Structure 1
């Protein structure tokens, strides 16, 4: 009999499920799991699209997907039991498949570039910089779907040959994937069922309440500037500078889910940027830049916003990238030395292994490794599929975006496997997916290569999009394989679920985006301020060497100054963390501060309110606060996203709100009353 407690891992997880047989592939990927996955994928994709278009922050949907998958499946079982329909038991493996499929679909909201490079190619993001036709590409529904199908599957195939190296040989942690696996395992115990029921009850209450609140607000927003979202929460003077709460529940939910330090950093960045820097630069209008420019002109105030924020993000990304590379290299060297000391001196670091190559001591490790190595997908198949996808993409992408040449696409696919492994390995060590950082590197490389006259802005964005999709999806697949490893889910089942979710995402996400985009084009929708689209456009402009042409005075000087300041802050924060100084808890995140240069203050205000609610809840009742606040936040985010779709559908159908509420100062109200009295007298 194996010991229940393991000295390395504590209490054994697999002993609790020892009596349950591992389900087969057909018992894991079931019609029930596919139906539930489809429903949740569509719902959460709507939510993710709304969030990425409005604020740019995309919270992880792994835990909500696992929780909702569990509860929706259990509800369907009860319904079928009521009608006496025979069915398979709901297992943690099926729960993992649902979670994998849903996350694969929703992640395309980010890697597909709907809030970043797709919008950055359009005319709205290009206002004030380069208006040449070859540097502007408006979104096209058919082209988006085709492009996504070309680029979204490559990362899945290229990471599969490295799965045993990362998960069994090097035993990478993948913290988020491990946390999701523990959550799913806990759901399928008696105590976990009770906890999940409480979480889902609160989630659906907040979900329904948020939808009702969105519809209620619509009745009072019949025109521009109407509605509760323009309520001057902190007074009219603060409202003029953008500091007010717009009652967007998604921002509140994001604030509840984000770490306190991130929200604190966003708050500090908002105070510095919108409270200090922008008022000072605006006072220089007519001196540093022409006074007749609009707020979106890169030659005016927007030029300062883009390049100051861009410099801080570049500094932080550069520092994080170097840190990840150093940590990854050290971790690989350390594990290699341990393997050699343990008698594996002749083993190559990346060769295929079987269960005999890597003996494991605990009962959990042995059982998990056995399942993980049982249902393999041959490396020759995955590599062959990657090569085939590469050839198709090399031939097709230049026809979708003529700014890209065949050689450009070929070079990306040739280099992608190396960077995909590096990114996935770093993701497993640090839980930081640097796909967007590699994306920016690709943008600089290909933008400068193509040049502005040949459409380098669009080429940079397309190259960055391909890179981000391949590397981001590869890291996500590696994390999902870790989740499957810890829940005894076959890697073949995980891979198939990932493929289904990716294919679904390539259709669902463009459709959802197109609904938002059509409403926006009609002039009635709210596409948000597109903070990340403007950021990516700025990166592309800088990459083609057009950075200083026509920019306002001192903008590049400020770029260099803030780059140095941000780099110094990143280094100081890292040193403080390593030395465990007390001040480390109060050093803001550079990236959190930088993103506020691209977003209006009302977004951080909503996030701060959400973070404050979560903090006070945990102070009053720590146990319930930690357990239920993620469910409440998920309900707020989901409800706001679904509510936005409902309002968009009302707009498409030609419905108009019957009432307009506006908030005026006392003086403006007196003038309005006098004007209305004049109209009454004229009658």
Structure 2
């Protein structure tokens, strides 16, 4: 039996996998919740490139649905069924990013020239069937590949996957059950009164760099009655955000308030958009990330943009992507983000491989009674704590959520018994596992499906060897991405995508017809595999802590992905039918980053003086990234790293127009004030902030569908 913090009337951990999980009711609930979040992700993904897994709100909404129907249920809604609901929801919600509908597809369809596509008349992606076939080709090979990684990363290495652990803790609190404590490294328990075992948690971050999604905050919840307050708060904030969304349609002027005067508004697009959802996103991102975005906004729009315009480097209107300052500073943004992403990715991979080698060496050399073994593992975990910024293109829950590693005090005997016995690994019965046959056959079939679907959609310009190479490369890169996610709560899909683009620039000759298209497709395949593998592994961590069946979670991922393939294609088609994209509302910044990177690595010319600025700022932020990822928390210089802006959020602040960044900065500032004044030592206050911000995001995202209907009916603005 695993070591668990046992509560009265709680079912044994290894018996819960046999409970009903793959049910019609849980599937419908998961698809419904995931659809709501997918709509929200499309809205904000096309606007800012920001997409979120929303695993915590999914778990809360799943619980709230069945709690309200409790009297009508023929059997109890359990914690493991709640895991299934949120797993389906996450698989649906992340479709816009995984299938490239907020990045790769608009880059190909909207920004790529006919000559770059390799066809005289360009690529036609208008038919819905093509969008569906493309998404179907990307939907599953990353899922099947993630299955065998579970035993290595979750069972043997016990990687923390902080956001997955936080979701498991929230579900366990709502259902009054316990989690499998043995599955976390350096994790044990301290005896509490009444002979029950209850985790005692120690925060691992400083107050100045805290984000609102923290495992230790959720672990401190004591009573299920907090659910009532949280669900009311979620509904209230979503309602306020929904009202703003409809009001903003009829009074669009509210979306561009010239807070610094009409002259700066017209000349440099410096406006404020008081969007509740943008403010909610800022709360989720945290103060540090939004402050770095603000640095990027000031650098790009208040310094570089006027300079480029005055010097004649960008003579066109400021919002002209080709000749204006907005297009000029985009290259600077790209250089900063690429340098930051690649440096942090390389450092994380090196540290992860070093940690793996060191821990393997230690396991063979240390004796089970050596008390320094547990201390060394804790040190290695602390050295890989999450960076202060998030990769917004994947801000997953993963993406979007950041959770800190959990450090739990315990008697030395319990720590030693948990960490030093590495000859046996506690896992569920084989009957609850996905079989090797299913995994191998599924991986082969899904990889072949990717090849066939890509050829069907993009034709003979994409050579067969390029697709096969991209799939093989994506599988290797997804291993690194999953390890980074497990250790740091950051899945570096953006950096992996850019790395794949750089590799393919070396493989595919620049003279090859459609070299730009091939480069984009390779990046899309790598991004999809890493995204899916990371999502499933994080969900599997949640399930393992609660005793859910891995086979049921695998089914949840398949169900959610199949549904998301169709819904994502339909939503993208709807947005393109109703809106002219890109436009002032949907600037598709991620698509611009993809296409510009493809052009850059294939030797495309740059606007005047961009190269010099890109090199200098790229080197500067590469140095900053190296420092932030290598300086140990024990160093006297570590506390000053917070004042060094990270490249990814700075780049995002440059390529997004100021109205997006200003609203997010307000949200980050509000979360900072709340955490400093109200929530220190108060877990309920912190969780309320999570729910508050999630409601703001979901309300506007959901009611964006209403705006689409009004637009399609040509309802006039006021």
Q: What interval of TM-score do these two structures reach, taking the shorter chain for normalisation?
A: 0.7 to 0.9
The counterpart of 1:483, out of the listed 505, 530, 542, is 542
User: Is the partner of 1:17 in helix, strand or coil?
Assistant: coil
CA contact (8 A) 2:256 2:659 kept: no
1:653 Cα deviation (Å)? 2.3
CA contact (8 A) 1:372 1:485 kept: no
CA separation in 1, counterparts of 2:343 and 2:54? 27
User: Is the partner of 1:121 in helix, strand or coil?
Assistant: helix
Cα-to-partner distance string for 1:318-349 (whole Å, 9 max, x where unaligned): 211111111111121122123323689xxxxx
Are 2:255 and 1:195 aligned? no
1:539 Cα deviation (Å)? 0.7
Alignment of 1:34-113 (within 5 A): 34-78=27-71, 80=72, 87-113=74-100
CA separation in 1, counterparts of 2:123 and 2:8? 56
CA separation in 1, counterparts of 2:274 and 2:115? 33
CA contact (8 A) 1:129 1:299 kept: no
Which residue number in structure 1 is paired with residue 257 of structure 2? 231
Are 2:262 and 1:270 aligned? no
Are 2:66 and 1:118 aligned? no
CA contact (8 A) 2:344 2:626 kept: no
The counterpart of 1:161, out of the listed 148, 161, 164, is 148
Listed as ranges, the gaps of 5+ residues in structure 1 are 81-85, 222-226, 345-358, 660-683
Are 2:207 and 1:176 aligned? no
Change (3 A) 1:606 1:293: closer
CA contact (8 A) 1:312 1:594 kept: yes
CA separation in 2, counterparts of 1:156 and 1:423? 14
Change (3 A) 1:384 1:127: closer
1:204 Cα deviation (Å)? 0.5
The counterpart of 2:675, out of the listed 603, 618, 621, is 618
* Larger Rg belongs to: 1
Which residue number in structure 2 is paired with residue 670 of structure 1? none
1:618 Cα deviation (Å)? 3.2
CA separation in 2, counterparts of 1:213 and 1:519? 20
CA separation in 2, counterparts of 1:65 and 1:655? 33
Change (3 A) 1:163 1:247: same
Change (3 A) 1:171 1:250: same
CA contact (8 A) 2:55 2:167 kept: yes
Which residue number in structure 1 is paired with residue 138 of structure 2? 151
Are 2:666 and 1:609 aligned? yes
4+ runs deviating over 6 angstroms: 365-368
Alignment of 1:511-660 (within 5 A): 511-521=570-580, 527-546=585-604, 548=605, 551-576=606-631, 578=633, 579-581=635-637, 582-622=639-679, 623=682, 624-657=684-717, 659=718
CA contact (8 A) 1:443 1:540 kept: yes
Which residue number in structure 2 is paired with residue 469 of structure 1? 528
CA contact (8 A) 1:427 1:475 kept: yes
With the length of structure 2 as denominator, give the TM-score of the two structures: 0.80
Change (3 A) 1:212 1:372: farther
CA separation in 2, counterparts of 1:303 and 1:127? 16
1:135 Cα deviation (Å)? 9.3
Aligned residues: 617
The counterpart of 2:310, out of the listed 276, 279, 283, is 283
Q: Which moved more, 1:497-506 or 1:612-621?
A: 612-621
Alignment of 1:405-484 (within 5 A): 405-447=463-505, 449=508, 451=510, 454-484=513-543
The counterpart of 2:10, out of the listed 1, 6, 17, is 17
CA separation in 1, counterparts of 2:618 and 2:517? 25
User: Is the partner of 2:94 in helix, strand or coil?
Assistant: helix
CA separation in 1, counterparts of 2:581 and 2:41? 22
Are 2:405 and 1:381 aligned? no
RMSD: 3.0
CA separation in 2, counterparts of 1:604 and 1:50? 16
Change (3 A) 1:134 1:22: farther
1:384 Cα deviation (Å)? 1.8
Q: Which moved more, 1:268-277 or 1:396-405?
A: 396-405
With the length of structure 1 as denominator, give the TM-score of the two structures: 0.84
Are 2:365 and 1:341 aligned? yes
